[in-house]
Structure 1
């Protein structure tokens, strides 16, 4: 099973006539591009508008065009979760689960296989301190059937049809506060890895649609 991801490149013409890209400041993960997972039974058009709304608060967005894709972002030792699941402490369906519930679209490093289960490791980092700090580490087990080997990312260009301030804030996931802001497309804005590569992939296409 392939798990699809979407990335929303939201643009507008700024007050001085310059093209701008909407980014947001995550309190732990740095400057990001709105992105997320296509839910089961959801088409990518609905997913990209939903993810953009959830991470920016914008509701008046239109799809300008599909910009391309990455066929598989996973390394050989990675798997992506294809259903909401809790990580188990042992390779047994009756084992004590770890908190929290992990949603479809999370990526894990994999280890040994034991019957129908796969050992996995999950890490979260606070990217802003120097050096980076690990904020969550879990080593446990998941059913092999809940893990997929293929993750495809779709790039989509959206146009903002509403008037906004240059910067604002809204509640995000895990009790975080997201701070969307408009950045000039020239020079190319800096975003966290691997999203800098996503922007590289579509940068000239975005500039050509001025």
Structure 2
């Protein structure tokens, strides 16, 4: 198993009127108030991701990268995984079974059971706008073990 790397960017500016630093926040249509962040792609450095995501999420073209604040490694609980790359979801624990759904890279799934090189997992899509106790849909299926990670 490998790991999924994410980058979070703090974009600040000096307010000339108050001499205070301001932090850039934006409203994501389906995910509330956010700061720029993104996933490290293959052969991409954290710095390259920070620059790319800042441009994509904010529209800024001119800015100065000041420093890396730090790195945190998170190991998920025993019953949770994160999807390393987009994948098909199968009805049975083999690739010849019906592939009826797909998971995108970066989502969290819950472990159900394992058979050979496949793990049965569940993904629940929660309604993030009105009530976090309500979920929109749930997908349970089999995925290849090598596309899941705990880091």
1:83 matched residue in structure 2: 85
For the residue of structure 2 that corresponds to 1:67, the secondary structure is: coil
CA distance in 1, matches of 2:89, 2:62: 38
**1:179 aligned residue:** none
Q: Are the structure 2 counterparts of residues 146 and 100 from structure 1 closer, same or farther at C-alpha, using a change threshold of 3 Å? A: closer
Q: TM-score, normalised by structure 2?
A: 0.87
1:31 offset after TM fit, Å? 0.9
Partner of 2:43: 41
Query: Which residue matches 2:148?
Result: 147
More helix by share: 1
Distance change >3 Å, CA 92–CA 136, structure 1 → 2: same
Return closer, same or farther for 1:92/1:29 CA change in 2, 3 Å cut-off: same
Question: Match of 1:8?
Answer: 9
C-alpha contact (below 8 Å) 1:29/1:125 kept by paired residues: no
CA RMSD of aligned residues (A): 1.9
* Aligned-residue offset at 1:76: 2.2
Structure 2 residue runs of 5 or longer lacking an equivalent are none
Which residue, 17, 20, 39 being the options, matches 1:18? 20
Q: In structure 2, what is the Cα distance between the partners aligned to 1:48 and 1:116? A: 35
| Cα 1:53/1:95, change in 2 over 3 Å | farther
Aligned residues: 149
Aligned counterparts of 2:104 and 2:9: Cα–Cα separation in 1: 23
Point out where structure 1 has 5 or more consecutive residues left out of the alignment.
151-210
Higher RCO by CA contacts (8 Å cutoff, separation 6 or greater):
1
| TM-score for the superposition, normalised by structure 1 | 0.64
SS in 2 for 1:31: strand
